[in-house]
A and B are shown apart, each in its own frame.
Chain A
Amino acid sequence: MAPPRDFYDVLGVSRTAGQDEIQKAYRKLARTYHPDVNKDPGAEERFKEVSEAYDVLSDPETRKKYDAFGEDFRRVPDDIDPEMYARARAGAGAASGGFRGPGRGGVRYSTGGVGGGGPDIDFESIFGDMFGGRGGSRGWGGPIPGADVEAEIELGVEEAYTGGRRSITITGPDGPRTLEVNIPAGVTDGQRIRLSGQGGRGSAGAGAGDLYLVVRLQPHPRFRVDGRDIYVDLKVAPWEAALGTSVPVDVPGGEAKVKVPPGSSSGRKLRLRGRGMPSPRGKPGDVFVVIRIMVPPSLTDEERRLFEQLAAASTFDPRGGPR
């Protein structure tokens, strides 16, 4: 588990902040990270951290203790003098050779001073685990099931087409965890994959919520995806477009032979029926091959002569037809 953070850092206030400021910071953070408002998998953990920090700092008594004793404040009896505590702690550390240090910014204890001899505080009773951790829910009591959370998963077009297993890492209460997810073939942008029981944890033994993975398709340099249809550009020479040709085109799931009919202008769409995104139920999408005529950037003398000859002989007027 990650080391506990300083409560003032958690709330983003200074150590001299007034009660008003602490309450304001807490209310704002609680609204932002409440697991029913914020679907991020890390929000629940953050919410608990913020609530705990506020529980301690909102009460002047516990705040005083926290300021004096740091993260051990809950284990220290009420009548201990902070200075004596610090000295005793340093002594015990020296004696046992490596007692757990304060471990985080903010409160620091002087490690100099009295050596191993002097402490008259019973360390067993102080550091023995008197504190059993916080109870689950406040208010109503009883177990409360966890909230549903949402995370985005980015998939390439080919990955979405074929489906398969994929491991993802999400932040959770016990740090990041890795899940193996089965991606169904043919997921589309915006679809949600439900992982039941992988969401926010319930309190007091209640069931966890679900984790929803929202699919985002990464932009692909060649494939444009529209729902289940995939568009791909096909570059052809002017004479190929005029006379017709047959070209192999790379599409997801393999190569397809595309017959470009004679007289195809730019923008003509050739449909490859059923070659688009597969559908778990129902018909798969189509692939649309979009013709795009490319002209040589510079002409050889021969090409120029032939084009001039074509220009003189042709009666075709591309701007003449109905607009």
Chain B
Amino acid sequence: MTSYALVAPARFTLDSFARITGLHPDVVRRLVALGLIEATIAPGGRMWFTPDQVAAVARISRLRSGLSLNYAAIGVVTDLLDRIAQLEAALRARPRRTGGISWI
């Protein structure tokens, strides 16, 4: 019989997420309500956050402090940046020929 190790799920509670990101839990709730970060809301109302949302909060903080964007503008900018990242990744993944054009 194969046995499997127990692994804790890679997710944070609202409190630990707030501690990691250095934000007040109310600010985190507000970001979720505005759709700027993703959270899983359990039936009891508890919020869970995946580790990639830490980077999302960091980007929101940089955009807010660096460009004085409001929440609505941050939503637009992050959506556009994600789309650009996707397109650039697709462009990179496309096989590219180097070394000039074949003479044939």
**Measuring CB to CB, which residues of chain A are less than 8 angstroms from any residue of chain B?**
30-31, 34-37, 47, 51, 137-140, 142-147, 157, 189-192, 202, 206, 214, 217-227, 231, 233, 266-267, 290, 292
Contacts and interface: CB of A to CB of B under 8 A. Distances in A.
Given A36-B81, A147-B62, A224 B97 contact: yes
Nearest to B100: A219
Interface in B42-63: 54-55, 58-59, 61-63
Which label, helix, strand, loop or mixed, suits the secondary structure of the A interface? loop
Given A223-B99, A224-B97, A30 B66 contact: yes
Interface of B: 22-23, 27, 54-55, 58-59, 61-68, 77, 81, 91-100, 102-104
B92 A220 contact: no
Given A142-B23, A290-B104, A189 B55 contact: no
B98 A219 contact: yes
B102 A31 contact: no
27 contacts: A30-B67, A35-B66, A36-B63, A36-B66, A36-B77, A140-B23, A140-B65, A144-B58, A147-B59, A147-B62, A189-B96, A190-B91, A190-B93, A191-B92, A206-B22, A206-B58, A219-B100, A220-B98, A220-B99, A224-B98, A224-B99, A224-B100, A226-B96, A227-B95, A231-B102, A266-B104, A290-B104
A229 to B, nearest CB: 9
Given A30-B67, A143-B22, A191-B92, A224 B62 contact: no
Contacts, number: 90
B59 A218 contact: no
Nearest to B96: A189
Given A36-B59, A142-B23, A145-B58, A226 B97 contact: yes
Nearest to A267: B104
Nearest to A225: B98
B45 to A, nearest CB: 26
A189 B98 contact: yes
Nearest to A226: B97
Nearest to A33: B66
Closest 6 CB pairs of A and B: A142-B22, A190-B92, A224-B99, A145-B58, A227-B95, A144-B61
B104 A144 contact: no
Contacts of B62: 34-36, 144, 147
